[in-house]
Structure 1
Amino acid sequence: MAARATTYRSGHEDEHTAAMRRLQVLSLHLLDPSSSSCSEGLALAACAGKRRHASGGADAAAALAAFLRGRHRDTQARVFEFFRARPDLQTPVELSTAAHRELCFRQLCALVREAGVRPLSLMASDPAEYFAVMEAAGGVDISLGVKLGVQYSLWGGSVINLGTKKHRDKFFDGIDKLDYPGCFAMTELHHGSNVQALQTTATFDPVTDEFIINTPNDGAIKWWIGNAALHGKFATVFARLILPLQGKGGDPADMGIHAFIVPIRDLETNAVLPGIEINDCGHKIGLNGVDNGALRFHSVRIPRDNLLNRFGDVSRDGKYTSSLPTINKRFAATLGELVGGRVGIAYSSVGILKVSVTIAVRYALLRQQFGPPKQPEISVLDYQSHQHKLMPMLASSYAFHFATLSLVDKYSEMKKTNDEDVIADVHVLSSGLKAYITSYTAKSISVCRESCGGHGYAAVNRFGALRNDHDIFQTFEGDNTVLLQQVAGDLLKQYQEKFKGGTLSVTWNYLRDSMGTYLSQPNPVTARWEGEDHLRDPNFQLDAFRVSHICVTISLQITDWIYLCTH
Structure 2
Amino acid sequence: MDTSPSCLIKCKRRINLSLLFSDTQPSPPSAPTAITNRISSSPEMDPHRKADAGESDASARRIQRLSAHLSPADLGRPCIPPQLRLLTCAAAKIEVDTEKLSLYMRGKHRESQEKVYEYFNSRPDLLNPVEISKDDHRELCMRQLLGLVREAGIRPFRLVFDDPGKYYAIMEAVGSVDISLAIKMGVQYSLWGGSVINLGTKRHRDKYFDGIDSVEYPGCFAMTELHHGSNVQGLQTVAKFDPITDEFIIDTPNDGAIKWWIGNAAVHGKFATVFARLILPTHDAQGTSDMGVHAFIVPIRDMKTHQTLPGVEIHDCGYKIGLNGVDNGALRFCSVRIPRENLLNRFGDVSRDGKYTSSLPSINKRFAAMLGELVGGRVGLAYSSVGVLKIAVTIATRYSLLRQQFGPPKQPEVSILDYQSQQHKLMPMLASTYAFHFATLHLIEKYSEMKKTHDEQLVSDVHALSAGLKAYVTSYTAKSLSVCREACGGHGYAAVNRFGSLRNDHDIFQTFEGDNTVLLQQVAADLLKQYKEKFQGGTLAVTWNYLRESMNTYLSQPNPVTARWEGKDHLRDPKFQLDAFRYRTSRLLQSVAVRLRKHTKTLGSFGAWNRCLNHLLTLGESHIESVILAKFIEAVERCPDPSSRAALKLACDLYALDRIWKDIGTYRIVDYVAPNKAKAIHKLSEYLSFQVRNVARELVDAFNLPDHVIRAPIAMHSEAYSQYTQYVGF
Match for 1:554: what amino acid? P
Of 186, 190, 193, which aligns to 2:227? 190
For residues 243-392 of structure 1, the aligned pairs below 5 Å read 243-246=280-283, 248-392=284-428
SS in structure 1 opposite 2:313? strand
Using the alignment, how far apart are the partners of 2:395 and 2:370 within structure 1? Answer: 40
Secondary structure of 1:311's match?
coil
Residue 163 of structure 2 corresponds to 126
Partner of 2:241: 204
Whole-Å separation in 1 of the counterparts to 2:377 and 2:360: 24
Contact persistence 1:89–1:106 (CA under 8 A): yes
Equivalent position amino acid for 2:400 in 1: A
Q: Partner amino acid for 1:373?
A: P
Structure 2 contact 396–484 (Cα < 8 Å) conserved: yes
Alignment of 1:151-550 (within 5 A): 151-246=188-283, 248-500=284-536, 512=552, 514=554, 538-539=578-579
Conserved? CA contact 2:534–2:548, under 8 Å: no
Mean Cα deviation higher: 489-498 or 248-257: 248-257
The offset of 1:66, in angstroms, is 2.1
Deviation for aligned residue 1:5: 6.0
Residues 92 and 553 of structure 1, relative CA distance in 2, 3 Å threshold: farther
In the alignment, the residues of structure 1 paired with residue 285 and residue 535 of structure 2 have an alpha-carbon distance, to the nearest angstrom, of 45
Structure 2 contact 482–503 (Cα < 8 Å) conserved: yes
AA of the residue aligned to 1:79 = V
Partner of 1:97: 134
Find the residue that maps to 2:285 and give its secondary structure.
helix
1:372 positional shift: 2.0
Task: State the SS of the aligned residue for 2:304.
Answer: coil
Alignment RMSD (CA, Å): 3.2
Contact 1:214 1:299 in 2 (8 A): yes
Query: What amino acid maps onto 1:329 in structure 2?
Result: K
Q: Output the CA distance in 1 between the equivalents of 2:378 and 2:548.
A: 38
Contact 2:554 2:579 in 1 (8 A): no
For the residue of structure 2 that corresponds to 1:378, the secondary structure is: coil
Q: Is the 8 A contact 2:27 2:88 kept in 1?
A: no
Equivalent position of 1:48 in the other structure: none
Post-superposition offset of 1:528: 13
Per-residue deviation at 1:373?
A: 2.3
- Structure 1, unaligned runs of 5 or more: 23-55, 560-567
Report the counterpart of residue 555 of structure 1 in structure 2.
676
For structure 1, which segment, 89-98 or 367-376, has the greater mean C-alpha deviation from structure 2 after superposition?
Answer: 367-376
2:152 aligns with 115
- The answer as to whether partners of 1:206 and 1:317 remain within 8 angstroms in 2 is yes
- Inter-CA distance 190–14: structure 2 relative to 1 (3 Å threshold): closer
Q: Output the CA distance in 1 between the equivalents of 2:182 and 2:537.
A: 49
Mapped to 2, the partners of 1:197 and 1:316 lie a distance apart of 28
Residue in 1 aligned with 2:48? none
Preserved contact between residue 534 and residue 540 of structure 1 (Cα < 8 Å)? no
Q: What is the deviation of 1:534?
A: 7.5
| CA–CA distance in structure 1, aligned partners of residues 262 and 461 of structure 2 | 29
Residue 250 of structure 1 deviates from its aligned partner by 4.9
TM-score by length of 2: 0.66
Query: What is the Cα deviation at residue 63 of structure 1?
Result: 2.2
Structure 2 vs 1, CA of residues 501 and 334 (structure 1 numbering), >3 Å: closer, same or farther?
Answer: closer
Identity %: 68
Kept in 2: contact 1:498–1:510 (CA 8 A): no
* Residue from 181, 201, 205 that aligns with 1:144: 181
* Residues 499, 172 of structure 1: alpha-carbon distance in 2 compared, 3 angstrom cutoff: same
- Residue 65 of structure 1 pairs with residue 102 of structure 2: yes
| Structure 1 Cα separation of the partners of residues 363 and 198 of structure 2 | 18
Structure 2 gaps, min length 5: 1-18, 32-84, 539-546, 584-655, 681-730
Cα separation, partners in 2 of 1:17 and 1:119, compared to 1, 3 Å: farther
Q: TM-score, normalised by structure 1?
A: 0.84
Q: Which has the higher contact order (CA 8 A, sep 6+)?
A: 2
Q: Distance in 2 between matches of 1:447 and 1:534?
A: 28
Q: Distance in 1 between matches of 2:395 and 2:481?
A: 10
Computing the radius of gyration over CA atoms, which structure comes out larger, 1 or 2?
A: 2
CA shift for structure 1 position 496: 1.1
Distance in 2, matches of 1:499 and 1:111, equals 53
Distance change (3 Å), C-alpha of 1:536 and 1:112? farther
Amino acid at match of 2:676: S
Give the direction of change, closer, same or farther, for the CA distance of 1:295–1:153 in structure 2 (3 Å limit): same
Residue 386 of structure 1 contacts residue 451 of structure 1 at CA under 8 Å; is this kept in 2?
yes
